[in-house]
Amino acid sequence: MIRRFIFILFIGLQFGNVHAQTKTPDQLYGQLFIDVQMQNVLKDGKTFVDCIPKRDPAKILEDYMKLKNAKDKFSTLDFVKANFILPDTNTTIVITGNKPVAAHINQLWEALRRKPANKIANSSLLDLPAPYIVPGGRFREIYYWDSYFTMLGLQVSGENETIENMVKNFAYLIKQNGHIPNGNRNYYLSRSQPPYFSLMVELLAQIKGDQVYSTYLPALEKEYAYWMDQSAPTKHVVIMPDGSKLNRYYDQLNTPRQESYKEDVLIGRQAGSKNPEIYRDIRSAAESGWDFSSRWLADGMHLNTIETTQIVPVDLNCLLYNLELTIQKCYALKHNTEKQKYFESLALKRKISMLKYFWSPQQSWFTDYNIKTKKQSPVLSLAGMYPLYFKLASLKQANLVKNVLQQKFLKPGGLVSTPLNTHQQWDAPNGWAPLQWMAINGLGNYGFHELEKHVAVRWINLNTNVYKRTGKLMEKYNVVDLDLKAGGGEYASQDGFGWTNGVLLSLMKKYGYAK
């Protein structure tokens, strides 16, 4: 009994005020949830978990079970349509693609803007106090790491109030839940995403001044406590062979994702008993934002060999290094020397450990580290550019990285996420806006300005040419064959698109492209 109480207490600590939130869709709808997802009733698994019931969920489930068993020609689709409000993926503003791309994006901000999210009975949506920008398409809520790159474009557009509102929303989510979830849905509460909150605070400080650091210090520290297993044992911390501490992605649940239930169940069946943590590994890849990539696959190719929780990722640890330095800066501004030195020492220890475990002299690249094999990953990815973005690399290392980048990653439309073509969406031939931004600025930090501009121009041209052909700005792009769409993934290619808009506007401004 005592053990059960401790477990319940742990779950309560784990998810902050999760008890105050509505039950998740699987808890509300039981067999109806399973049937809708496994039968592809709504085609995209995310649609049902975003639905709002028209009446009491318990009564809906009760009626479903009665009708399903009583009728020979029962239609689950008709039942869902009769009992739920389906989410609307259409924008409320008619957008035409015949304007210059910057003007198009400025109009898109309005289409992607959402009012404060109020609590709705039995909705999976988490409340937020201020307006925010969504990515677009099926992504109809705020997303964590997407939002930083979206903010870059909002800054160019003079949308400073929107930036501040989004930072306030993320601070609110930290206060309510102990961390920033993947997105503001209750089925995302078991995980976070790449911790860009410190970069958001830095961006807002550029706009409003250093008082921003003091305002958001409590939220920064609370997020740090989450990642460092201090507020609850989230298992994000890894003790390395030399005793130093680094971090990994680690979802708190080992069940199929609700928004991709069927896909996960099928992968789980393929894996069988080989990996009893298969669902956690899938979910943890979603926490990384790279869902999915050869980075996480034991054989480099097949999703049923996923082992995300065995990987210590270079990009995650760079972001946490920046979080430590940001907290250190907060205390420096408050003239708290003791706390300043403490976080400075944490950042230094992390830097030493990162350079030891992530730098591969053989591959001339910063790679992930596998704690199961106790070896560096053979997979090269653009995550290896994060040490250049955060100025962790030596000039010699940066020069070697630049050469590999040109040889293995640079394509006609920009940079591939990895050189491997696995049919996963975070591998070749796809390129993604956030990784272009990190790599381009990483090159600039070490004076490689010619290559920096070369990559940026290729990406700008690809984005604008696709826009001219289709009237759309996409979630991801095929950077290898400029006439083909990006592929892979569990869902159709999305347009909108928050982080593409943000990075494109910022690069156009930096390199003097006409609006």
Backbone angles phi and psi of 361, in degrees to 5: -60, -35
Structure tokens at 336: 């708290």
**What whole-number distance in Å separates Cα of residue 416 and Cα of residue 272?**
32
Using only C-alpha atoms, the chain has a radius of gyration, in whole angstroms, of 23
The torsion angles phi and psi of 414, rounded to 5 degrees, stand at 135, -140
Q: Output the DSSP codes for 301-333.
A: S-GGGB-GGGEE-HHHHHHHHHHHHHHHHHHHH
Other CB atoms within 10 Å distance of the CB of residue 208: 14
Which runs of E-coded beta strand occur in 108-177? 113-114, 132-133
Cβ atoms of 417 and 426 within 8 Å: the answer is: yes
Q: How far apart are CA 169 and CA 152, in angstroms?
A: 17
Which residues make beta-bridge pairs with 365? 360
What are the residue numbers of the active site?
291, 475
Say if CB 170 and CB 179 are below 8 A apart: no
Copy the structure tokens of residue 311. 């990987």
C-alpha–C-alpha distance, residues 372 and 285, integer Å: 17
Tell me phi and psi for residue 430, to 5 degrees.
Answer: -85, 145
DSSP code for 409: I
